[in-house]
A and B are shown apart, each in its own frame.
Chain A
Amino acid sequence: MTSITKPQIIHEGMARNALGLTIRDYEGRMSTLCAGCGHDSVTSAIVQSFFELSVPPHSVAKLSGIGCSSKTPAYFLSAAHGFNAVHGRMPSIATGANAANRELSLIGISGDGDSLSIGLGQFAHAVRRNLNMLYIIENNGVYGLTKGQFSASADVGTKAKKGEVNEQQPIDPVQMAMALGGTFVARSFSGDKEQLIPLIKAGIRHNGFALIDVLSPCVTFNDHEDSTKSYAYTRQFFHPAMHADFVPPAEEIKTAYDEGEVMTIELHDGSRILLRKISKDYSLNNRGAAIDYIRSHHRKGEIVTGLLYIDESEPDMHAINQTTKTPLNDLPFDKLCPGGEALETLQQRFR
């Protein structure tokens, strides 16, 4: 028998969420990525997160650009909306989608090539606009889809599969987002769902632009010995600084913490993020210090992970622009398009 699709089996032990759905209802088509690709694990973490949050799949819009990573929206939430933009242009499509329908929950999936090479400008503006979306970069240090050329996130000294060495400085989306005023900045690893899933849930619920840079090894082109983005390297130099737990609204906090050990951050919808310091000298509220910390560890080859910065108080794109609270498709036609006279009045104001 040749390759088959994942069978839809609802077994007895299968959990149902508040909507009565099983996790199968949050899956998508069968992945066509290479077996063992980190991106598939991220997909599975996304599926799990939306399932556990009981988000109705049709209330979500999935957006992406081009790349193996950008293919993955096809592999989760089949019942959601989706748009596959040209290379590096997903942020502008996301901006349009969010402008038109602010009630959609937006999830953008991009790659290091898609966001940090060709799409760097688009990415930067989405951050500073504080577009209300979860933006995941599946970061593998290469252009996977085009057979493994170095991307802009490749570390200096890292070797390609065939042996050539990268000599250009890497762009770190985490440091960039911090510098650009990002309001939710996190890093994680496809191979650590315990860390990743709460971050995804918090990112979905965060009001504003939530960036998660997920190290997601490319098994085919960048999982060899001298790579700094392989499974083995990432596991060895993984440095969790802040651990985040996610507690949905009205749910009791079950884990017992010591006095002063955790910081609770309440999100707009009433859910909470419980932040626990793993590294004593990490300071969460200071962008400058955070960047220093990340840099100094990066110099040692270490990868700082966790929820590294959060600010729930900043206004998002709609608040900044004082737009209507109603999604445009719910506005009556005469409001949405007030006619020639209204246009005339408007233009008069600028004369």
Chain B
Amino acid sequence: MDPTKTEGTEYFHQVVDCQWGCPAHTDVPEYIRLIAQGRFTDAYMLNRESNVFPGILGRTCDRPCEPACRRTRVEDKPVAICRLKRVAADNRGDISDRLPTAPKQKNGKRIALVGAGCASLTVANDLMPLGYECVIYDALDEVGGLMRTNIPSFRLPASVMDEEVGYILDMGVDLRLSSPIESMAELLKEGYNAIFVGSGAPKGKDIDMPGRDESDRIHIGIQWLESVAFGHTEKIGKKVLIIGVGNTAMDCCRTSLRLGARDVKVMARKTRDFFKASDWELEDAEEEQVEIVVKHSPKEFVIEDGKLVGMTFEKMEYDLDEKGRIADTRVTGEEAFFPCDDVILALGQDTAFPWVERGIGINFDKWSVPVLDEVTFESTLPGVFFGGDAAFGPKNIIWAVEHGHQAAISIDKYCNERPLDERLPRGVNLQSAKMGIHEWSYSNDYDPAGRRIMPHVDLKERFKKLNIEVELGFSVEQVVTEVERCLNCDLQTVFFADLCIECDACIDICPVDCLTITPNADEDTLKKSLKAPILEPSQLLYVSAALKQTSRVMVKDENLCVHCGLCAERCPTAAWDMQKSSLVIPYAIDEAREDAAKCQAERKAG
């Protein structure tokens, strides 16, 4: 194989599994180290740079970083990355002088943002410091979008949201609540320099089944949660059935319990492996005695004397193939009746743009999804951008934030008439972590401790009020242990082939056997000659240049490396070095600086 190129590529970025998995590329290992040093405010600010809402996300993030976390390769559970984010947020000091500010002198450009959810807020966060005037419209009379209306307050306290949303609004955003945009055509006429659509995916899916229209006790999940959030709904019947088993279902069942329900069942068509809800949401619901009934497909609502009394379900059966996928689905013919007082439909959401006229240049595909550029988020009408759930359908907060960052870059380029696709690449900086003969600038000792368990409010106490936050946050002892579980994947093993004397010291010491010196060969042969078998073919393989003494090559399977630094420590010639990688992610402000510099250079050149 050819020597692996690591310089000027994203090789080392990919090694940091959590950061690679995070849509906004949050620098997880660095903030965990800052927490370990007690530098909570710094940890918070580092988070804020990429994910804007550390306090909110530290409680609610979908955490794609955790399933990706390297720790799962040496034990069951990943580092509690998300809940450590909350530690930074909860313990931060005064940050008022470290927040971005808007210049007094505006740049004269006005941007309209439709929807006051996290996507629009991120765009405003990135554009306000550049001198833009941002006008955010929302149909509702509160700011925050689904974070406010749908994520229950026992998971996300309003105060946490108010604070973080406030940081953005306080830069001087022109927030116009109770101002639904009813026509894009009209909005276009108002002379904004650009428009960002962050209107979310507001349409909860319904079901067409006998009895559906005969009762007012059949609710649509996201609408019902919204009416609870605004205090319009304060109670529910004793027996509740939730249809669907995604994250919305989990919020619906737990909210029901807080409004008086005593027997809540979540009805699932398939088996657990196919649930959309995250494991931790399922665990939290089950802790509260919600029963999850599998292999039941809804058949009809049973109405007696004009009153909903229950539902019938068809029992299902599934055959799995050897990979665990569903090969065959069967209706067994057996039916089951479940009595209930209320039904909540938690079947997912769709985007809806009744207010965007067709034929004004914004094209939609056959599923009524706007046609967008995946990098710039620009629609087919120049100057109109989409992001968050409105862009590619419902996702989550962290994706909406990343869309916001990217759309902000595009909007700034658009307003300055620079090509939208000429964007700065992400970069990786490396710096040696060597401090002395056996001294590294990070805690490289492997801590075998298991993941800390989040303490919860007592099972009786938590139901007394709707907004009692269930998760208490980690204790000091838990933080101290949990931070040490992080393997510091950003401390990269960097190899200098010309220094290696092939003494095997690194190979012998590596606790996970991820290094091999072997004659070079084609990829398949090379992969078969490794010291430990390849378990994760998708992970990177590093192949060095030919070594001096024997022309063999050093091969590293990145999958297992625990970044302990022992290879570098036992190497007599410093052919291995531990180097801290930092990802350089360009935001609107960086792109703006770059563009301004280019502009100047072009002007000079005439």
Q: How far is the CA of A36 from the CA of B509 in the complex (A)?
A: 10
Q: Which of B440, B445, B535, B550 contacts A13 (CB 8 A)?
A: B535
Q: Does B396 count as interface, using CB distance less than 8 angstroms?
A: no
Q: Does B560 count as interface, using CB distance less than 8 angstroms?
A: yes
Q: Does A40 count as interface, using CB distance less than 8 angstroms?
A: yes
The reply to whether A40 and B508 form a contact with Cβ atoms under 8 Å apart is: yes
Cβ contacts A227-239/B at 8 Å (1 or 0 each):
0000110010000
Contacts of A223 in B (CB 8 A): 501
Q: Does B533 count as interface, using CB distance less than 8 angstroms?
A: yes
Q: Which of B439, B512, B549, B573 contacts A9 (CB 8 A)?
A: B512
**Smallest CB separation, B351 vs chain A (Å):** 41
The reply to whether B501 and A1 form a contact with Cβ atoms under 8 Å apart is: no
Query: Given the interface contacts A2-B438, A34-B572, does A11 sit within 8 Å of B512 by beta carbon?
Result: yes
**Which of A8, A35, A44, A217 counts the most B-chain CB atoms under 10 A from its CB?**
A35
The reply to whether B444 and A1 form a contact with Cβ atoms under 8 Å apart is: yes
Q: Which of B448, B566, B571 contacts A4 (CB 8 A)?
A: B566
Within 8 A of A (CB), among B538-586: 549-550, 560, 562, 564-566, 569-573
**Smallest CB separation, A245 vs chain B (Å):** 17
Can you sample 7 A-B contacts with CB below 8 Å?
A2-B439, A7-B448, A8-B511, A14-B532, A40-B504, A44-B508, A190-B504
Q: How far is the CA of A2 from the CA of B512 in the complex (A)?
A: 20
Which residue of chain A lies nearest to B74 when distances are taken between CB atoms in the complex? Answer: A9
The reply to whether B505 and A35 form a contact with Cβ atoms under 8 Å apart is: yes
Cβ contacts B395-427/A at 8 Å (1 or 0 each):
000000000000000000000000000000000
Q: Does A171 count as interface, using CB distance less than 8 angstroms?
A: no
Q: Does A219 count as interface, using CB distance less than 8 angstroms?
A: yes
**Smallest CB separation, A45 vs chain B (Å):** 9
**Smallest CB separation, B481 vs chain A (Å):** 16
Q: Does B337 count as interface, using CB distance less than 8 angstroms?
A: no
Within 8 A of A (CB), among B423-450: 438-440, 442-446, 448
The reply to whether A1 and B440 form a contact with Cβ atoms under 8 Å apart is: yes
**Smallest CB separation, B478 vs chain A (Å):** 22
Q: How far is the CA of A7 from the CA of B562 in the complex (A)?
A: 10
Q: Which of A13, A35, A190, A231 contacts B571 (CB 8 A)?
A: A35
The reply to whether B503 and A6 form a contact with Cβ atoms under 8 Å apart is: no
Within 8 A of B (CB), among A80-125: none
Q: How far is the CA of A34 from the CA of B501 in the complex (A)?
A: 14
Q: Does A67 count as interface, using CB distance less than 8 angstroms?
A: no
Q: Does A43 count as interface, using CB distance less than 8 angstroms?
A: yes
The reply to whether A7 and B503 form a contact with Cβ atoms under 8 Å apart is: no
Q: How far is the CA of A8 from the CA of B512 in the complex (A)?
A: 9
The number of residues on chain B lying at the interface, defined by a beta carbon within 8 Å of a beta carbon of chain A, is 37
3 shortest A-B CB distances, which residue pairs? A36-B572, A7-B446, A3-B438
Q: How far is the CA of A6 from the CA of B444 in the complex (A)?
A: 11
In the complex, besides A12-B535, A219-B501, A235-B549, 7 extra interface pairs with C-beta distance below 8 angstroms are A1-B440, A1-B445, A2-B438, A7-B448, A36-B505, A190-B503, A193-B504
Contacts of A36 in B (CB 8 A): 501, 503, 505, 570-573
Contacts of A4 in B (CB 8 A): 444-446, 564-566, 569
Q: How far is the CA of A130 from the CA of B529 in the complex (A)?
A: 38
Which residue of chain A lies nearest to B531 when distances are taken between CB atoms in the complex? Answer: A13
Q: Does A38 count as interface, using CB distance less than 8 angstroms?
A: yes
Q: Does A208 count as interface, using CB distance less than 8 angstroms?
A: no
Contacts of A190 in B (CB 8 A): 503-504
Q: Does A41 count as interface, using CB distance less than 8 angstroms?
A: yes
**Smallest CB separation, A248 vs chain B (Å):** 21
Q: Which of B73, B507, B573 contacts A12 (CB 8 A)?
A: B73
Q: Does B174 count as interface, using CB distance less than 8 angstroms?
A: no
A contact patch SS: loop
The reply to whether B560 and A11 form a contact with Cβ atoms under 8 Å apart is: yes
The reply to whether A235 and B444 form a contact with Cβ atoms under 8 Å apart is: no
Which residue of chain B lies nearest to A5 when distances are taken between CB atoms in the complex? Answer: B445
Q: Does B314 count as interface, using CB distance less than 8 angstroms?
A: no
Q: Which of B445, B501, B508 contacts A7 (CB 8 A)?
A: B445
**Smallest CB separation, A37 vs chain B (Å):** 8
Q: How far is the CA of A11 from the CA of B446 in the complex (A)?
A: 13
Which residue of chain B lies nearest to A7 when distances are taken between CB atoms in the complex? Answer: B446
Contacts of B564 in A (CB 8 A): 4, 7
Q: Does B502 count as interface, using CB distance less than 8 angstroms?
A: yes
Which residue of chain B lies nearest to A3 when distances are taken between CB atoms in the complex? Answer: B438
Query: Given the interface contacts A4-B445, A231-B549, does A11 sit within 8 Å of B532 by beta carbon?
Result: yes
Q: How far is the CA of A14 from the CA of B511 in the complex (A)?
A: 11
Q: How far is the CA of A190 from the CA of B504 in the complex (A)?
A: 9
Q: Which of A13, A43, A231 contacts B533 (CB 8 A)?
A: A13
**Smallest CB separation, B537 vs chain A (Å):** 13
Contacts of A9 in B (CB 8 A): 74, 446, 511-512, 562
Q: How far is the CA of A28 from the CA of B227 in the complex (A)?
A: 64
Q: Does A191 count as interface, using CB distance less than 8 angstroms?
A: yes
Q: How far is the CA of A8 from the CA of B446 in the complex (A)?
A: 9
Q: How far is the CA of A7 from the CA of B510 in the complex (A)?
A: 9
The reply to whether A231 and B508 form a contact with Cβ atoms under 8 Å apart is: no
**Smallest CB separation, B268 vs chain A (Å):** 31
Query: Given the interface contacts A13-B533, A223-B501, does A1 sit within 8 Å of B439 by beta carbon?
Result: yes
Contacts of B560 in A (CB 8 A): 11, 13
Contacts of A231 in B (CB 8 A): 501-503, 549
**Which of A36, A43, A217 counts the most B-chain CB atoms under 10 A from its CB?**
A36
Contacts of A40 in B (CB 8 A): 504-505, 508-509, 570
**Smallest CB separation, B117 vs chain A (Å):** 41
Q: How far is the CA of A13 from the CA of B504 in the complex (A)?
A: 21
Query: Given the interface contacts A7-B446, A9-B74, A11-B73, does A43 sit within 8 Å of B572 by beta carbon?
Result: no
Within 8 A of A (CB), among B50-96: 73-74
Cβ contacts B131-144/A at 8 Å (1 or 0 each):
00000000000000
Which residue of chain A lies nearest to B501 when distances are taken between CB atoms in the complex? Answer: A231
**Smallest CB separation, B32 vs chain A (Å):** 15
**Smallest CB separation, A305 vs chain B (Å):** 15
Query: Given the interface contacts A7-B562, A11-B560, does A35 sit within 8 Å of B570 by beta carbon?
Result: yes
Contacts of A34 in B (CB 8 A): 572
Q: How far is the CA of A190 from the CA of B507 in the complex (A)?
A: 13
Query: Given the interface contacts A1-B445, A36-B570, A41-B508, does A13 sit within 8 Å of B503 by beta carbon?
Result: no
**Which of B445, B533, B570, B571 counts the most A-chain CB atoms under 10 A from its CB?**
B570
Contacts of A11 in B (CB 8 A): 73-74, 512-513, 532, 560
